[in-house]
C-alpha cells in the first residue's frame, strides 16, 4: 500500500488514522505492518465498505477536508472494492539500526547465511546473492539498470533482489544506486575469512 509523503507525516503526527483504497484484493491485512519513510505502520483493521459508509469524520481521519474530496479521489479509480484501513505509527524502521551492526556473532552469521541460501535456492535465475553483494561493494552509487545489465539481468527483478538484501540490513539505497552497509561489509569480510 503506497502512501503519499504528506499522508505518512500525518500518520506519524497522529492526525491521520485511516486510509481508503479501491482494490481487487487488499494488499495489506489486519495485524500486519508496513515499513515506510516515517517508520513502521501498524495495520489495525482492513474492512470492506461501501461509499455510503464513509462519514465526514472518516474523511477528516484520512486527511481530507470533507467527505466529497475523499470520494472524488477514490472515484478516480472505479475498479475494485472499497476498503477502510485503520493505521497508526508502530515505531521506527528497524533497518537503519540493523544496517549499522558491523559486528556479527554466530547467530547473526547463521541467520544471514540461511536467508541468503534460501534466496539463492528459490531464484528462477540461479544463485545471485554473493554476486550482487560483491557488485554493489565494487560499484557503489552506480545506477540499478547499469548494475543489472552488467549481470545480464532485467532491472526490475534485480531491484527486487536488492530490496531483499536491504531487508537483511546488508545494503542501503543512495540517491543513485546502492552501497553496502556496515553490516553488509562485515558479512562479506566473514565470507572472505571462510575462504
Tens digits of residue pLDDT in 131-158: 999 999 999 999 999 999 999 999 999 9
pTM score: 0.68
> How crowded is residue 114: how many other Cβ atoms within 10 Å of its Cβ?
10
- Give the residue extent of every domain in the chain: 5-91, 95-194
Tens digits of residue pLDDT in 176-190: 999 999 999 999 999
Three-class SS of residue 100? helix
* Gap between the Cα atoms of 4 and 183, Å rounded: 30
Answer whether residue 39 shows pLDDT above 80. Answer: yes
The cell for 105 is: 556473532
Supply the CATH classification number for the domain 95-194. 1.10.10.10
Given this model, what pLDDT does residue 32 score?
96
Superfamily grouping for domain 5-91: Hypothetical protein. (2.30.130.30)
Amino acid at each position: 500500500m503506497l502512501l503519499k509523503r504528506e499522508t505518512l507525516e500525518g500518520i506519524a503526527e497522529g492526525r491521520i488514522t485511516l486510509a481508503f483504497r479501491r482494490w481487487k484484493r487488499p494488499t495489506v491485512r489486519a495485524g500486519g505492518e508496513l515499513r515506510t519513510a516515517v517508520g513502521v505502520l501498524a495495520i489495525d483493521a482492513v474492512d470492506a465498505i461501501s461509499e455510503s459508509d464513509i462519514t465526514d469524520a472518516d474523511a477528516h481521519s484520512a486527511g481530507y477536508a470533507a467527505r466529497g474530496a475523499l470520494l472524488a479521489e477514490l472515484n478516480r479509480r472505479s475498479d475494485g472494492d472499497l476498503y477502510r484501513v485503520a493505521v497508526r505509527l508502530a515505531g521506527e524502521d528497524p533497518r537503519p539500526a540493523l544496517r549499522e551492526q558491523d559486528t556479527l556473532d554466530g547467530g547473526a552469521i547463521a541467520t544471514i547465511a540461511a536467508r541468503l541460501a534460501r534466496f539463492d535456492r528459490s531464484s528462477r535465475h540461479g544463485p545471485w546473492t554473493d554476486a550482487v553483494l560483491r557488485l554493489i561493494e565494487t560499484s557503489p552509487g552506480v545506477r540499478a539498470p547499469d548494475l543489472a545489465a552488467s549481470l545480464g539481468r532485467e532491472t526490475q527483478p534485480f531491484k527486487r533482489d536488492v530490496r531483499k538484501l536491504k531487508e537483511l540490513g546488508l545494503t542501503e539505497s543512495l540517491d543513485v544506486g546502492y552501497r553496502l552497509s556496515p553490516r553488509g561489509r562485515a558479512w562479506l569480510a566473514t565470507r572472505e575469512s571462510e575462504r
